[in-house]
C-alpha cells in the first residue's frame, strides 16, 4: 500500500479524478496518467498471457456451449440451452455428479481426519519424524499418471500385489476385479487418491499445528485438561482456518479430478468411475461433440464457482474475524 512511486501521497487506490486545482491541474493529470501507465505497464505481459490462454478459452467454451458443433470451423448451429437441458437428463453426467459427491463425502469423512491424526502424531517429538514426513509426502510429488499406472498394476486382477497379499493372509477371492468391477471401482480409486493426497493435507495441518503457540496447550495442561480435551478445545479451534482451506482444496480437487481416472480406468467399466472432466474429454476429443463437451465444461466451472463463492461467503469469512482465528498470524 505504501509506496513512494505514488504521484500524490494522499491518493489511495481507486479514488476519483483529482479535485480541480487551478493552474497545476493539467500537468497533474499528465503525471497521474504517466504513473498509471508505468503501473499498468508491468501488468501487460501477465494480462496478455492470462487473457489469451485462460480467459479467452473460458469465454469461448461458454459461447460454444450454445451450439451443436463438431469442433471444425466456427460454431454456427445455434441451439440455445439445449446442450444444458440434455446435460441434466444425461444419466452419465448425473452419475458424475453423484460420484463427485461421493468422493467429496469420503474425503471429508475418511481422508482428512486420517491426515489430521497423522499430523498430530508427527507433531510430537518422535524418533525419525523427518523421515516419516518425507515418506508420507512423497506420493504427492509423483504425477497422477505415474501413480495411476503403478496402482493399476498393484490392483491388476489375479496377478497384482493386492490379490497376492490378500491371498497370503487367507482372504482369497476378497479382492478380484478391483478397477474392473463396477461395485468396487470407486472404492479402489478412492484408496489410490488417499494414498496420493493425504500427505498434502497432512503437511498443511503440520504447518498449522506449528503456528499454534505452545503456551496455550501448556496452560490447558496446567488447568488439568486431558489429551483429548486439549485437542478438542485448544488445538482444533486454532487449527480451524487450516482445516477450512484443506476442505476447500479437497472439494475443488474432487470436482476437477481427471488424470488419475483417465490413466487407471478411463471412466470404465461402463462409466462407473467417470468424472465430469472425463466425460467432457470423451465428448470433446473422442466423439467430437464439442458443443456438448463445452456445456459440460461450463457446468463444471459453474459448480466450482458456486461452491467457491458460497464457501468464501459463509465459511472462510469467519477467518477474518474473531480473536481465536486471527491469532495464528498469517503463516509464511
Partner 1 sequence: MAVPLGYAVLSGFKSTDQLSRNPIGLPDPWVTSNYTDILGSGSFWQLVGSSTLIAAGTTVVVVAVSALAAFSFARFAFRGREMLFTLFTMGLMFPFAVAALPLFLLLRSMHLLDNPLGVILPQAAFGLPMTIVVLRGFFREIPAELEEAATLDGCGPLTFFWRILLPMARPALGTVSVLAVVGSWNNFLLPLLVFNEPTWWTIPIGVQQFQGQYSAEYARVFAYLVLAMVPALAFYSVAERQLVGGLAAGATKG
In angstroms, the Cα distances linking 20 to 34, 97, 117, 146 are: 18, 58, 63, 64
Determine contact, residues 139/116, Cβ cutoff 8 Å: no
Fill in the per-residue mask, 222 to 251: x = in contact with partner 1 (CB under 8 A), - = not in contact: -------------------xx--xx--x--
* Touching partner 1, residues 1-40 (CB under 8 A): 1-6, 11-14, 35-36, 38-40
Radius of gyration of the chain (CA): 26
- C-alpha 90/C-alpha 275 separation (Å) is 13
The distance of closest approach from Cβ of residue 125 to partner 1 in the complex, given in angstroms and rounded to an integer, is 19
Which of 66, 67, 195, 197: binder of partner 1 (CB under 8 A)? 195
Binding of residue 300 to partner 1 (CB under 8 A): yes
**Candidate residues 57, 70, 81, 113; the one interacting with partner 1 per rule CB under 8 A:** 57
Choosing from 141, 171, 174, 310, the residue that interacts with partner 1 (CB under 8 A) is 141
Of 155-184, which residues contact partner 1 (CB under 8 A)?
A: 156, 159, 161, 164-165, 168
Question: Considering the complex, what minimum distance in angstroms separates the CB of residue 52 from partner 1?
Answer: 8
Which of 116, 212, 255, 261 touches partner 1 by CB under 8 A? 255
DSSP-derived letter for residue 20 is: P
Segment interacting with partner 1 (CB under 8 A) among 19-27, 97-105, 134-142, 220-228: 134-142
From the CB of 309, what's the least distance to partner 1, in Å? 9
Long-range contacts of 208-215 (CB under 8 A, 24+ apart): 208/238, 208/239, 208/241, 208/242, 208/243, 208/328, 209/119, 209/120, 209/123, 209/235, 209/239, 210/123, 211/328, 211/329, 211/331, 212/238, 212/239, 212/328, 213/327
Among 138, 171, 187, 236, binds partner 1 (CB under 8 A): 138
- 126 touches partner 1 (CB under 8 A): no
Helix (H) or strand (E) holding 76: none
Amino acid at each position: 500500500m505504501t509506496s513512494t512511486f505514488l504521484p500524490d501521497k494522499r491518493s489511495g487506490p481507486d479514488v476519483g479524478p483529482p479535485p480541480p486545482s487551478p493552474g497545476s491541474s493539467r500537468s497533474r493529470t499528465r503525471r497521474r496518467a504517466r504513473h498509471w501507465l508505468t503501473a499498468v505497464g508491468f501488468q501487460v505481459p501477465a494480462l496478455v498471457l492470462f487473457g489469451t490462454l485462460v480467459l479467452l478459452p473460458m469465454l469461448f467454451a461458454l459461447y460454444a456451449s450454445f451450439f451443436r458443433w463438431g469442433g471444425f470451423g466456427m460454431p454456427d448451429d445455434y441451439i440455445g440451452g439445449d446442450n444444458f437441458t440434455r446435460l441434466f437428463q444425461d444419466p452419465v453426467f448425473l452419475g458424475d455428479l453423484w460420484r463427485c459427491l461421493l468422493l467429496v463425502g469420503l474425503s471429508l469423512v475418511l481422508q482428512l481426519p486420517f491426515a489430521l491424526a497423522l499430523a498430530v502424531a508427527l507433531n510430537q517429538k518422535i524418533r525419525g519424524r523427518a523421515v516419516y514426513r518425507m515418506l508420507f509426502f512423497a506420493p504427492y510429488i509423483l504425477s497422477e499418471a505415474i501413480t495411476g499406472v503403478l496402482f493399476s498394476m498393484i490392483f491388476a486382477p489375479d496377478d497384482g500385489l493386492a490379490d497376492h497379499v490378500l491371498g497370503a493372509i487367507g482372504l482369497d477371492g476378497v479382492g478380484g476385479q478391483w478397477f474392473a468391477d463396477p461395485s468396487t471401482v470407486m472404492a479402489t480409486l478412492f484408496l489410490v487418491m488417499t494414498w496420493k493426497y493425504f500427505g498434502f493435507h497432512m503437511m498443511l495441518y503440520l504447518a498449522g499445528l506449528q503456528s499454534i503457540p505452545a503456551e496455550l496447550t501448556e496452560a490447558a495442561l496446567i488447568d488439568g485438561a486431558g489429551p483429548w480435551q486439549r485437542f478438542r478445545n485448544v488445538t482444533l479451534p486454532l487449527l480451524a482456518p487450516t482445516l477450512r482451506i484443506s476442505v476447500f482444496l479437497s472439494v475443488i480437487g474432487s470436482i476437477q479430478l481427471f488424470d488419475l481416472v483417465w490413466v487407471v480406468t478411463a471412466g470404465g467399466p461402463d462409466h462407473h468411475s467417470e468424472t465430469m472432466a472425463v466425460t467432457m474429454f470423451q465428448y470433446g476429443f473422442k466423439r467430437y461433440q464439442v458443443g456438448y463437451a463445452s456445456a459440460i465444461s461450463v457446468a463444471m466451472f459453474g459448480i466450482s464457482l458456486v461452491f467457491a463463492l458460497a464457501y468464501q461467503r459463509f465459511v472462510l469469512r469467519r477467518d477474518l474475524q474473531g480473536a481465536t482465528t486471527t491469532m495464528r498470524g498469517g503463516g509464511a
